[in-house]
Amino acid sequence: MIADLVRASTTFVDSEPVATILDGIAAVLILLAAFLTLAAAVGLIRFPDALARLHAATKPQILGVILVVAAIALSVRSWVVLLLLIPVIVFQLLTAPISAHMVARAGYRAGDYDPDTLAVDELAPDVAAAGRSELPGGGLDDEPGTAQGQRGGS
Amino acid sequence: MIDVVLSVAGGMLALAGLLLLYRVVVGPSLVDRVIASDVLLTTLIIVVGADMAISGHTRTIPLMVVLAVIGILGSVSVARFVQRAPSTSASGGEGEL
């Protein structure tokens, strides 16, 4: 039953006009992914601090990879290839938020951002508490802005 | 048409790679370099995938999967290191890296 469906769809997509349309869609998807990557690179160059750059950086990590995987699937038109490509999207969806979260926390604790641009800062009390518990002498300042100033002055 | 797609997408991806490389080399802080190298790895995934989609072969699918799996390792490990830098060394921890 499923094999019949797969065979029928395979003969359908192998007909000449459908194949041309699918190749065209794949080409458009590739161009979109390349544009997203270029936009992220321009954002990384032009944005002022690490957290703003992280905002630009996370765009191609999910949507760009999904677009390219869809382009491959439309261009190659094989169910086996699609099965091999799905883990790429799954792993990107799993790992990109984790790495972005870790890098954002690191950037926050390093003071690599502009405190005036934050609407709400919910991490500051946690960082202050962790700094007191880790180092009784006070390794981290309560105010991230002063930590940045310290490092810049030394 | 596929030649146009190849040259336009290749040009955009190459320009993006150059800009990201500039940020990795110049980037004022370690976090900037980590972010830029992370996006550079994503650019590599997209380049490999675009090459497969344009030329219609499937030889580099394992490379895509491996890059997607291990891409997290570098940024997370370096992020942990940055997080502890202020407590281990009082000053200039990220600048020296």
Angle between helices A79-109 and B30-55 (to 10 degrees): 170
- Say if A80 falls within a structural domain: yes
- Alpha carbon of A4: minimum distance to chain B alpha carbons (Å): 25
Structural domains of chain A, count: 1
pLDDT at A132: 58
Query: How many interchain CB pairs under 8 A, A with B?
Result: 201
**A chain contacts of residue B68, beta-carbon cutoff 8 Å:** 65, 87-88, 91-92, 95
Residue A108 lies in a domain: no
Q: How far apart are CA B93 and CA B81, in angstroms?
A: 10
Q: Is the pLDDT of residue A150 over 70?
A: no
Residue A139 counted as domain residue: no
Confidence tier at B41 by pLDDT (50, 70, 90):
very high
Interface of A with B in 3-62 (CB under 8 A): 23-24, 26-27, 29-31, 33-35, 37-38, 40-42, 44-45, 50, 53-54, 57, 60-61
- Check residue A134 and give its pLDDT: 46
C-beta neighbour count of A13 within 10 angstroms:
12
ipTM of this model? 0.81
Q: What is the pLDDT of residues A6-36, one digit of tens each?
A: 776 666 666 778 888 888 899 999 999 999 9
Would you state the pLDDT for residue A11? 64
Structure tokens at B17: 């790679």
User: What are the domain boundaries of chain B?
Assistant: 2-87
| A138: three-class secondary structure by DSSP | coil
User: Which pLDDT score, from 0 to 100, does residue A39 have?
Assistant: 93
Q: What DSSP string describes chain B?
A: -HHHHHHHHHHHHHHHHHHHHHHHHH-SSHHHHHHHHHHHHHHHHHHHHHHHHHHT--TTHHHHHHHHHHHHHHHHHHHHHHHHHHHHSSS-TTTT-
Domain assignment present for A13: yes
Would you say residue A20 lies in a domain?
yes
pLDDT confidence of B3, banded at 50, 70, 90? Answer: confident
Count the Cβ atoms, other than its own, within 10 Å of residue A19: 15
A117 lies in a domain?
A: no
